[in-house]
Structure 1
Amino acid sequence: MTINNHVTEFAGRPVVTFDSTEDLPPDVGAVAWRLSADYDDSKEAFARLVEEFLARVTPGAVQALIIGQWGSAYEEEAPVELLVELAPRLIGLRALFLGEMTFEESEISWIKQTDVTPLLVAYPGLQTLRVRGSDGLSLTPTRHEGLRELAFESGGLPATVVRAVAECDLPALTHLELWLGTDAYLGDATVEDLAPILSGSRLPAIEYLGLRDAEIADQVAAALAGAPVVARLHTLDLSLGILSDDGANALLAGQPLTHLRRLDLHHHFVGAELAARLVEELPGVDVDLSDVQQADRHGDRYVDVSE
């Protein structure tokens, strides 16, 4: 699957793409603003667009911001430095989505990211950070007292980023979403890299854990079968990956999952018999087994989002 559409809602707000020719909504903080340049624009042109936006709104009233194309996003890295410079003006920013592009703008594996740690340092009031793309992505373990949702969307998430997330001190984080992807697109993380998260020794407030789009979905499921963190969750999300009967059997044989509100396995390779058992043995749990897949004639299975 490729990412075909822009998000229409972010951080509980409808998305409005800034257009200098259109009137502003009456409450600029009630929407999530999308700022996006053309693919052949320069980063300087994107910076001018941002300044035009800030001149039209009250910067301190902006609470949710989506950064789309900053020009040739497959050639120039994300404008983290610019966003850090704007922090004294964007004092009300609570949610940031960096790299929200469709495949027509840039394939997810082509989006040039960078070190996103400075965003967490510059915005202590940030509650949601979502990043798309992993080429050049890095993170330094840090402490952030207010962050509640952290998501890295990728066709392959480097192990260095996974380990850095596991070493972060995020006491308020309730939602962690890692698109692990495939090693063909930089996704070299292993279950061992996830161990501090799965052990329950980190992230004391975690309620939603998404280890999505994973080529190692069966190994992840086997690790989760006995992972202490599962007892804290209301949602376990292993969707978009290549979960098979092996992973399903591990979940069924492991610790009870009946406390979950939702078990999301959509886009999977689980056989009908085991799929039925999952639903039967988890009464009261919303088990999503939609989008069943079949291995190709060579027996190969594919994650949903790779390129």
Structure 2
Amino acid sequence: MTVGDHLHELGGLPAFDFPTADSGSPARSVDTLPAAGSVAWRIGVAAYDESGSWASSFADFADAVDLTQVRALIVGCWTDAYDKGPDEVFAALLAAADRLPNLRALFIGDIVGEECEISWINQGQVTVLLEGFPELTEFGVRGGQDLEFAPVRHERLEKLTVETGGLDAEVVRGIAESDLPALTHLDLWLGVAEYGGDADTDDLAPILAGTHLPSLKHLALRNSEIQDEICAALASAPVVARLDVLDVSMGVLTDDGAAALLSGQPLSHLSFLDLHHNYLSAEMGTRLTEALEPAGVRLDLDRDDADEEEDEDDGTVWRYVAVGE
């Protein structure tokens, strides 16, 4: 129900923690740091250390590393992420934009549960970063509290990831209305209503139509409590015919949703259909396997830690997404 690991890579580069006084990383000589363009640099401060400042840590980074060669940046924890958004982060990054000409991958909020639960991470209007960095090819954000995503056109962006325990419908509409001609990979964690995830299939309609996403090959609409409804909509969605990978994992997917997928448009062109963390019966798993594996579609039917609870009083069955709080 939470995120337990920091990112291991970004933009095809291994993650590396820049050692600052606030980050908790071991002290390291500037001379022993990796080459500026060889890693995805993670910059963060201790979650509960009010004496720390993300902006000051970034300033230390800028003094130690040749920013002109940096290709990937991971923004870790800022002070009081559970109480305030990353305004200082955005300001520092935008102020340094002209010194980061080779930045291609940026992730905001690589924060794990022990630092701040995903649904408590405060965010902001993240499209200012897309506007400030027009050469980005990969952008990601974690945390849905006060997250905003105004419709934007970005010529270069190829991969967009938004990880939340509850994604606001207005954010979904902003993404759906954005013009992203180069985007090949879209990954949305839609979450649950309890944590602000109020989007429905109508909000997803422009994504399902693929109107502004002519290059899309990998679509993930996952971690949702309405996974069955999403699958029913995908069954006739024009975008599916263009996909190589379809990911409806991590959510409350039952036999109803899987049956809707199987009874809809052909899926035999997919290379991978990801359904892990599901609530499917063994019989439905067999149906999926027999229908798709002979066509060369790789399936992930692993139930992982998907669990369900039955109310002893009225028999109600409670099912959970993989990441909520």
* Aligned residue pairs, count: 307
Query: What secondary structure is seen at the aligned counterpart in 2 of 1:211?
Result: strand
Map residues 24-35 of structure 1 onto 2, 5 A cutoff: 24-35=32-43
Q: Match for 1:101 among 106, 111, 115? A: 111
Pair 1:169-2:199 in alignment: no
Partner of residue 251, structure 2: 241
1:279 to 2:289 alignment: yes
Q: Please tell me the residue identity of whatever aligns with 1:301.
A: R
Q: CA deviation at 1:202?
A: 2.1
Residue 47 of structure 2 is matched in structure 1 by 39
Which one of 191, 194, 199 corresponds to residue 184 of structure 1?
A: 194
1:81: how far off?
Answer: 2.3
TM-score, with structure 2 as normaliser: 0.92
Map residues 62-141 of structure 1 onto 2, 5 A cutoff: 62-78=70-86, 79-141=89-151
Greater mean alpha carbon deviation, residues 32-41 or residues 141-150:
32-41
Counterpart residue type for residue 296 of structure 1: E
Indicate the residue corresponding to 1:10 in structure 2. Answer: 10
Alpha-carbon offset, residue 129 of structure 1? 0.5
| Cα distance, 1:88 vs structure 2 | 1.3
Q: CA deviation at 1:294?
A: 4.5
SS at match of 1:29: coil
CA distance in 2: counterparts of 1:185 and 1:81, whole angstroms? 27
- Identify the residue that residue 308 of structure 2 maps to in structure 1: 295
Q: Which of 299, 304, 307 is matched with 2:322 structurally?
A: 304
Separation in 1, partners of 2:179, 2:212: 7
Unaligned runs of 5+ in 1: none
CA drift of 1:200 comes to 2.3
Q: Secondary structure at the match of 1:14?
A: strand
Partners in 2 of 1:30 and 1:275 — Cα distance?
42
* Whole-angstrom CA distance in 2 between matches of 1:97 and 1:43: 24
Q: Write the letter of the residue equivalent to 2:322.
A: D
Task: Tell me how far 1:44 sits from its aligned partner.
Answer: 6.8
Q: Which runs of 5+ in 2 are unaligned?
A: 21-26, 311-315
Residues 128-137 or 18-27, more deviating: 18-27
Does 1:200 find its partner at 2:213? Answer: no
SS of the residue aligned with 1:162? helix
CA contact (8 A) 1:43 1:70 kept: no
Find the aligned partners of 1:115 and 1:274 in 2 and give their Cα distance: 41
